[in-house]
Structure 1
C-alpha cells in the first residue's frame, strides 16, 4: 500500500483542491453525453464561490502521498442552513483507487455530517458517471429521484 495521510480542514484547503478538481471536471466533460459544454464553462473559482455561498460549513479531506508529498485525492462536504448535508465532490487519482481511500473519505464525510446533525445527506452524480452509483450504494445512498435538464 502507498504511504498516504489524510489531512482534514475547512475552506482554507479549497485552493489546494483546484488541480484535482480540474481533473474531475475534465473527466465529467469527457463522459457527459449531453452536457459537456457545462463542464467546459465551469471554472474552479465559480465552483468555489458557489460552495462558500450556499454552505454554512465546509469540511475538506485531502489525501497526501507521503513518499512524494503530492495531493492525490480529496472530498468536499458541506452542510447548509437547513441542515442538509452534501458530499459535494470526490476525486482520487487512478493509481490510488484500489486502496479503499474513497471509502475512507466517504466514511469521514458521513461521520462529520452526522456529528453536525444533518437532517439529510445527499450526493449528486453527474450524467455520464452512473457507474459511481454502485460505489455510493455501499454507504446507503440510493436513487431517490431523477432530475432532467433540457440541453
Structure 2
C-alpha cells in the first residue's frame, strides 16, 4: 500500500473536476435535493472555474494517491483567496475530500498534514476551515486534530442557505 501527495497543475483540471464532482456527490447527495446539488456542482466545479482557481497563486490543490490512484484532494487558500477575511496570518483549508472507497485509510489525515505543512511553509499562525454543521464525522475528525469552533458562516448549496461552522487551529 502506497500513499503520496502531488501538487495539481492546470493540466490536472479535468481530473480535478471529476474527483470534485464524485466526492461532493458522495458526501452530500443524500442530505440535499438534486436541484441544489446540481446547481452547486455546475458553479463550483465548472472547468473554467477550476482552471481560474488553479491559476491563482494564493490557492493550491493537491491530489492524494492511494496505490497510484487518485483517491482524494485538498484545496488550501491564503491571502485574498480565502473565502472569509481571516487576515495574512491564516491559511484556509477550503476542501478535503476523499472518495468513499478510500476512506478510513488515513488519507484525510495525510491531506490535513499537508495543509499544515503548507501553512508552516508560508509562516501562517492559524489554519481554519468551514465544515457543514450537519457533517458530524468531519466535525469530530477536526476536533480530534485540535480544531475548535470559532464562528459560523453561510454556505450556499445552489440557492439554499446552509450553515458551516468555522473551526480554527493555532499553529505553534
TM-score over 0.5 for the pair: yes
Q: Where in structure 1 do 4 or more consecutive aligned residues deviate above 6 Å?
A: none
C-alpha displacement at 1:145, in angstroms? 1.6
Give the corresponding residue for 2:5: 6
1:45-93 Cα shifts (integer Å, max 9, x gaps): 275367469x642222212233xx4311111111124423111111112
SS at match of 1:98: coil
Deviates more, 1:57-66 or 1:97-106: 57-66
Secondary structure class of the residue paired with 1:125: strand
How many Å separate the matches in 1 of 2:10 and 2:79? 14
Q: 1:103 to 1:141 in 2, by over 3 A?
A: same
Instruction: Say whether the 8 Å CA contact 2:23–2:99 is kept in structure 1.
Output: no
Give the root-mean-square deviation of aligned CA atoms: 2.9
Q: What TM-score, normalized to structure 1?
A: 0.75
Cα distance between partner residues in 1 of 2:152 and 2:34? 19
The residue number in structure 1 matching 2:102 is 96
* Comparing 40-49 and 70-79, the one that deviates more: 40-49
Q: 2:37 aligns with which of 16, 39, 59?
A: 39
1:57 corresponds in structure 2 to 58
User: Do 1:10 and 1:58's aligned partners in 2 also have CA atoms closer than 8 Å?
Assistant: no
Matches within 5 A, 1:1-150: 2-10=1-9, 13-26=12-25, 27-32=27-32, 37-42=35-40, 43=42, 44-45=45-46, 48=50, 51=53, 56-66=57-67, 69-81=68-80, 82-83=87-88, 84-147=90-153
Distance 1:56 1:3, change over 3 A: closer
Count of matched residue positions in the alignment of Structure 1 and Structure 2? 145
1:30 touches 1:36 (CA, 8 Å); kept in 2? no
Residue ranges of structure 1 left out of the alignment (5+ in a row) = none
Greater relative CO, 1 or 2 (CA 8 Å, sep 6+): 1
Distance 1:18 1:11 in 2: 11
